[in-house]
Amino acid sequence: MIARTNMITRLFTFAAMLVGIGQVGAQNLVALPKAALKQSDTPEKIELGKKLYFDPRLSATGTVSCNSCHNLMEGGDDGRATSMGVNGLTGPRNAPTVWNAVFQASQFWDGRAVTLEEQAKGPMVADVEMGMLGHDQVISRIKDIAGYTNDFQIAFKNDDAVTIENAVEAIAAFERTLITPNSALDRYLDGDEHAMSETQIRGMELFESIGCTECHSGPALNGWDIGSDAEFVEFPRFDTSPFVQAYDLATDLGRSQATGDNTDDHLFKTPTLRNVTLTAPYLHNGRVSSLAETCRLMASTQLDVELTDREADDLTSFMSALEGEFPEMTFPRLPSRSGESVIQAKVGSAINDQS
Amino acid sequence: MIARTNMITRLFTFAAMLVGIGQVGAQNLVALPKAALKQSDTPEKIELGKKLYFDPRLSATGTVSCNSCHNLMEGGDDGRATSMGVNGLTGPRNAPTVWNAVFQASQFWDGRAVTLEEQAKGPMVADVEMGMLGHDQVISRIKDIAGYTNDFQIAFKNDDAVTIENAVEAIAAFERTLITPNSALDRYLDGDEHAMSETQIRGMELFESIGCTECHSGPALNGWDIGSDAEFVEFPRFDTSPFVQAYDLATDLGRSQATGDNTDDHLFKTPTLRNVTLTAPYLHNGRVSSLAETCRLMASTQLDVELTDREADDLTSFMSALEGEFPEMTFPRLPSRSGESVIQAKVGSAINDQS
């Protein structure tokens, strides 16, 4: 694993040279881009994706939307240790934030989806999340909602446009708008040396000097080499750390559960640290409520460093410099199941049917 | 009950004379007001109320907000027969719309809350809805969320402002903004004779001539005499109607379950018909999916009238003229539980505690 994380450092250093980072004390950090759209992400696709993202009717019970566990009014997560899906069922891992997910090399804690599109397919049909029986049922549900067919036709310029591939493309297009630039760190990196407090700068210097940036680098502080295995790191790495037992860190085998390859045991995707102050509780199992405690835990298990209270506070303060600007968003109007479709359709009467 | 509904008609006729309704064929209908705020509803209270309305952390599991069952991106309801609250539990009745609820004389199907403020207290502590153990727990939860205390202090100009009374006052202030004026009917009543189609006008005339307006009158088409018992009607009234058994209409005793007075058996609040095309399924038990079928059912059980298919279609078409304009709304940013509070607080470490 050390080889893999060193590879990140090398790649990062190379990339950092290319973009010419110069701010003192921030050698391994870069500002978040202010846009992440693909050329094919039209306003119509984004708006459709927003509707689908917020529509609880894409779940078996009609109660769980993407936003239920990845709440855009909060940190893009749900504030729970593990998420609660349909019928009160809970999953095994903590919901990662959707904010800046476009800058992740892969999605899910085990990285089993490489793209946002592939990720979006998962929860719809996971029995403890949205609980649909299959993507055919999802599409059938969408087709039952008058208004969506038209939205799909306009977004994809195709009469037969209501497909799962188009649905997740629209959701991903919307998710590519979910970025939070202009954090204190970003403004600092852009040259405003007063953007961060002294404590935050001290925390940033510590973050670099003890080696956090070996993994938490790049614009989202989640590993730089997007698209490769390099984003995955062994966790816990120093398994004699007392935190391992205290927070049950060795039970979940991580990536190997997705790949079936036991050389992937205990590998986890490096999560973004953007807005991490807003996404308690922490870790893949959501067992740690305090961010300072999480900093101690990560230093101990990954770097074999025991932090003082002041160092943990400084690091936590630096994390607060990673809170970005959240775009102002308007609510979508979700198309109705009834409305015109009921009005126009010849609706049978239970009474008439009986007579 | 006939006496009560006749009283509505009389009161309505009097009120209609006062406001000088003149459009031909709309003797018993009035336009929806374009504002409903109280003088004490400041922008700060409204914004705080919006946050609370959308905050799932006010539920036991952190998964159910007011908006879960009264979804403002849809018809202000949840599209389910009966709502699903925490842990997958379901309640006994269909969620009424929150849109234009300010124009209801009382809230809940049995009218057990007279004000929006009183209504807002209920679901938080109902075990099948938001499931909190009591309002003390709600307030304790709100106080745990950094940011809310400041919001309450600003909205209520008081240091010790985080109280349940203030919380529901803020929610009610927000709900008083949830109105949908300028429907086709409203524009028609304001003098635009082309605002409604011929079918809609025919449906409106039928709506008045067969007696629907005996109960469905006033700006929200839900009874006129706001604040009195007159809004409650017997349902089903003609209990030999075949619809009664087909849709299990006689089981729920309605208002008497709230008052404990068996003279209130089978009384229900007259619901608003504004945006009714968007709030399927219908009735207190959510048993009817089709609006045309609901029109047949109501005519049969309440007026002893059997509608033809064309009449049911005309009435349904008139209902589509009741879809109003939904205000464009921006998402609130919900205050974080962690953030500064974690950063500033001295956080104990599980490891330090053990040593």
The domain segmentation of chain A, as residue ranges, is 2-34+180-320, 43-178
The nearest alpha carbon in chain B to A276 belongs to B339
Burial of residue B209, with CB atoms counted within 10 A of its CB: 0-12 exposed, 13-18 middle, 19 or more buried: exposed
Indicate if the pLDDT at residue B346 is higher than 80.
Answer: no
- The first and second tokens of residue A247, run together, are 């927070």
* Residues A32 and A132: beta-carbon distance below 8 Å: no
Fold that domain B43-178+328-344 belongs to in CATH:
Cytochrome Bc1 Complex; Chain D, domain 2 (1.10.760)
Select from A140, A348, A61, A336 the least CA-distant residue to B279.
Answer: A336
- For residue A21, the model assigns a pLDDT of 44
- For residue B349, the model assigns a pLDDT of 40
Identified catalytic residue from A117, A129, A214, A234: A129
Q: What residue has token string 């239970």? A: A350
Q: Is A129 a catalytic residue?
A: yes
Give Cα B236 to chain centroid, integer Å. Answer: 21
Which of A78, A280, A330 minimises the CB distance to B330? Answer: A330
The nearest alpha carbon in chain B to A53 belongs to B73
Chunk chain A into consecutive blocks of 10 residues (it has 355) and report each block's average pLDDT, rounded to whole numbers.
Answer: 41 43 62 96 98 97 97 96 95 97 92 95 97 96 92 96 98 98 97 97 96 92 64 92 97 95 95 96 95 97 98 97 97 76 35 38
The answer to whether A2-34+180-320 and A43-178 have equal CATH topology is: yes
Q: Which residues of A touch B339 (CB under 8 A)?
A: 277-278, 320, 323
Give Cα B138 to chain centroid, integer Å. Answer: 22
Q: In this structure, what DSSP letter does residue B230 have?
A: G
Buried b (16+ CB within 10 A) or exposed e, B244-276: bebbebeebebbeebeeeeebebbbbbbbbbbb
Q: Which residues of A carry a binding-site annotation?
A: 66, 69-70, 212, 215-216, 298
> Domain A2-34+180-320 classified CATH 3.90.930.60?
no
How do residues B188-215 score in pLDDT, each as one tens digit?
A: 999 999 999 999 999 999 999 999 999 9
Q: What is the ipTM of this complex?
A: 0.89
Report the distance separating Cα A322 and Cα A291, nearest Å.
13
Is there a binding annotation on residue B295? no
Q: Which residues of B touch A279 (CB under 8 A)?
A: 338
Mean pLDDT of chain A: 88
Report the distance separating Cα A222 and Cα A214, nearest Å.
10
Interface touch A280/B338, C-beta < 8 Å = yes
The nearest alpha carbon in chain A to B80 belongs to A62
Residue A101 C-alpha, separation from nearest chain B C-alpha, in angstroms = 19
Superfamily the domain A43-178 falls into: Cytochrome c-like domain (1.10.760.10)
Which of B73, B337, B349 minimises the CB distance to A334? Answer: B73
Fold that domain B2-34+181-320 belongs to in CATH:
Cytochrome Bc1 Complex; Chain D, domain 2 (1.10.760)
- For residue A26, the model assigns a pLDDT of 63
